[in-house]
Every structure is written in structure tokens, then in C-alpha cells.
């Protein structure tokens, strides 16, 4: 009996100590981890869309609330000559294995896409992963909002043949971003001064 009590006590003490250490460490590392994720996943995607920018879009990012939604939307501003040249927003679509995350660059003056670039995906190498190739993504450059969907859906973009699911994930992500952008566009333009 005494031994049983000892066993339970020792195990509980170890688990308690472990929980205490880990929850504190989690608190401490959470902001650092968020920053690392943004720097190594979102930032390279933004840099692939915009060749030149004078600010750090990750450091200048801002969150916007959409009325009636729980999750705020993060917007990355791209500045040129001290004025807002473009914004980048991240969108998600259900891919072949897990979520596909797509960074979408938007020109607020012309209401058109500047380009898209995948930030995170685990699609099948060689097949689904072709949604990351310029042959597919370049079609989005300069596309007007209503054209940024698949031809089957009335848009002007060719899906990647043989990778229907992965292409669908990109279209889903882009249309999600455009819907979010439409809801917060006026807030964005109030926050950063745009050109002209």
C-alpha cells in the first residue's frame, strides 16, 4: 500500500513539474515562435510576389476585424516612397493533404491581383506541387478580381491538369482572400496612406 502511494505521488510530482516548466516556457516562446513562422513562411512568399519593397511587411503587419467573424485578418502592407503600394493577404484552401496556404498580393488602386505565391503546402511532390510553378501562378499576375478563378468557374485561369484538388485549393484560397479584402478595404486605406 505504501509503495502504491509512493508511485502515485512520484509520478504526479514529475508530471506536475513538467507541466509547470512547459507552460511557462510556452508563454515565453509564443511571441518568438509567431515571429519565426512569419519570417520563414509568410515573408519568403511575399518576397516572391514583390521584387522590391522598402519596408518589412512582417514587422508592419496589422490585424483587422471583420464584423461577424471571430478571426481577425492579418494584412501585410508593401510601401513605396512612403506610400502604400500594395497589400498582401494570406488565404487557405483544402488541398490533397492538409491545408494549402497562399499569399495573395493586391493592388488597391486598380483592384487587381499583383501575384500569388504558396506560403505553406504539403501537396504530392511532382504533381500537386506544380501549383507552385510560375506556369500556373503567373496567370494570376494582373488579373482583375472577377477573372481570378478557374475557367470552369467563369474566370480566366487554367487549372493545373491532373492536379484538380490542389488547383481547387488555390482558387478557394484566392477567393477567400478577395472576400476578406472586400470587407476591410476601406479600413486598410484609412490605416496606410495610399499613392496618388
Partner 1 sequence: MIRMWKEFSKGLWKELPPFRLMLGLCPTLAVTASANDGLGMGAAVIFVLTLSNVLISLVRKIIPQKVRIACYIAIAATLVVVVELLMQAFAYPLYQSLGIFVPLIVVNCIILGRAEAFAGKNPVHLALVDGLGIGIGYMISLTFLGSLREVLGKGTWFGHPVMWDGFEPFGFMVMAPGAFIALGLIVGAMNFLNMRMAKKKAQGALQEMDGCAACGGCAMATKSREL
Partner 2 sequence: MNYAALFVSAIFVNNIVLAQYLGQCPYVGCSKEKGVAFGMGTAVVFVIFMATGITWLFQTYVLNPFNLGYLQTIAFILVIAALVQFVEMFLKKVIPPLYRSLGIFLPLITTNCAVLGVAVLVQRKEYDLITSLLYALFTSLGFLLALMLMSGIRERLETVRAPRAMRGTPTALIMAGIMSLAFLAFKGMIE
Which residues contact partner 2 by CB under 8 A?
A: 18, 22, 26, 96-99, 122, 124, 126-128, 162-163
CA distance 53 to 61: 14
Q: Tell me how far apart the alpha carbons of residues 182 and 176 are, in angstroms, rounded to a whole number.
A: 10
Nearest CA-CA partner of 55 in 87, 23, 30: 87
CB under 5 to 8 A by kind: which of partner 1, partner 2, none does 187 bind? none
The rounded distance, in Å, linking the Cα atoms of 34 and 127 is 30
C-alpha cell at 157: 485561369
Does 97 help bind partner 1 (rule: CB under 8 A)? no
Which residue, 39 or 97, is less far from partner 2 as judged by CB? Answer: 97
Provide, rounded to whole angstroms, the least separation between the CB of residue 99 and partner 2: 6
Decide which of partner 1, partner 2, none touches 16; Cβ closer than 5 to 8 Å per partner kind: none
Are the beta carbons of 116 and 174 closer than 8 angstroms? yes
Residue among 30 and 152 whose Cβ is closer to partner 1: 30
* Residue 193: all three cell numbers together: 496612406
In angstroms, the CA 113 to CA 127 distance is 25
Binding of residue 11 to partner 1 (CB under 8 A) = yes
Tell me phi and psi for residue 165, to 5 degrees.
-65, -45
Question: What is d(CA 37, CA 52) in angstroms, rounded to the nearest whole number?
Answer: 22
Using the minimum distance from each CB to partner 2, give the nearer residue, 123 or 155: 123
Q: Between residue 13 and residue 52, which ones bind partner 1 under the rule CB under 8 A?
A: 14-15, 18, 21-22, 25-26, 29, 32-33, 36-37, 39-40
179 binds partner 1 (CB under 8 A): no
At 24, list the grid cell.
511557462
Residue 66 interface partner, choices partner 1, partner 2, none, CB cut-off 5-8 Å depending on type: none
- Shortest gap between Cβ of 57 and partner 2 (angstroms)? 27
Q: Given the rule CB under 8 A, which residues bind partner 1? A: 3, 6-7, 10-11, 14-15, 18, 21-22, 25-26, 29, 32-33, 36-37, 39-40
Amino acid at each position: 500500500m505504501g509503495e502504491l502511494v509512493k508511485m502515485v505521488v512520484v509520478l504526479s510530482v514529475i508530471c506536475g513539474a513538467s507541466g509547470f516548466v512547459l507552460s511557462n516556457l510556452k508563454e515565453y516562446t509564443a511571441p518568438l515562435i509567431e515571429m519565426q513562422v512569419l519570417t520563414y513562411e509568410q515573408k519568403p512568399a511575399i518576397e516572391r510576389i514583390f521584387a522590391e519593397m522598402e519596408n518589412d511587411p512582417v514587422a508592419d503587419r496589422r490585424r483587422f476585424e471583420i464584423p461577424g467573424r471571430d478571426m481577425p485578418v492579418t494584412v501585410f502592407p508593401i510601401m513605396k516612397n512612403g506610400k502604400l503600394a500594395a497589400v498582401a493577404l494570406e488565404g487557405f484552401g483544402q488541398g490533397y493533404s492538409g491545408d494549402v496556404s497562399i499569399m495573395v498580393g493586391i493592388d488597391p488602386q486598380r483592384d487587381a491581383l499583383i501575384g500569388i505565391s504558396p506560403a505553406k503546402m504539403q501537396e504530392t511532390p511532382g504533381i500537386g506541387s506544380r501549383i507552385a510553378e510560375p506556369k500556373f501562378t503567373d496567370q494570376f499576375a494582373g488579373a482583375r478580381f472577377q477573372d481570378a478563378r478557374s475557367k470552369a468557374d467563369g474566370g480566366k485561369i487554367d487549372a493545373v491538369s491532373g492536379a484538380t484538388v490542389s488547383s481547387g485549393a488555390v482558387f478557394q484560397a484566392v477567393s477567400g482572400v478577395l472576400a476578406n479584402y472586400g470587407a476591410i478595404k476601406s479600413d486598410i486605406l484609412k490605416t496606410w496612406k495610399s499613392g496618388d
